[in-house]
Amino acid sequence: MRNLNLRLIIILFIVTLAIWVDASETLQIVNPFNGTNIAERNVATRLGLDLRGGLQVVLEAIVPQGTEITAEQMDVARSIIENRLPITPS
């Protein structure tokens, strides 16, 4: 029974620590003897590239002057790129 209580206390401590870190914008560890900061770190949530709007890449073909490109050639090039990259075109 004592082992079970110890495990429960450790789990509650870890959950409390996780909630405290998640709810804080800044994580500070203060020296209890003189009140100075031992460590301070910004732990605010930062959105990744996928949540900020993603990334858009524009590919442009460089062709010699006087060369005409047909719609069929552009479709073939597009299908090759779409098959090689795991993206959905917009």
Q: Dump pLDDT digits (tens) for 29-69.
A: 888 899 898 888 887 777 877 777 767 778 887 888 988 88
Q: Give the structural domain span for 10.
A: 2-84
Mean of the pLDDT values across residues 21-31? Answer: 82
- Contacts of residue 20, defined as CB under 8 A and 6 or more positions apart, other chains included, come to none
- Cα–Cα distance between 39 and 30 in angstroms, integer? 7
**Residue 90, in any domain of the structure:** no
Q: What is the pLDDT of residue 87?
A: 62
User: In total, how many domains does the chain have?
Assistant: 1
What predicted TM-score, i.e. pTM, was given to this entire model? 0.37
How does residue 10 score in pLDDT terms, banded at 50, 70 and 90?
Answer: very high
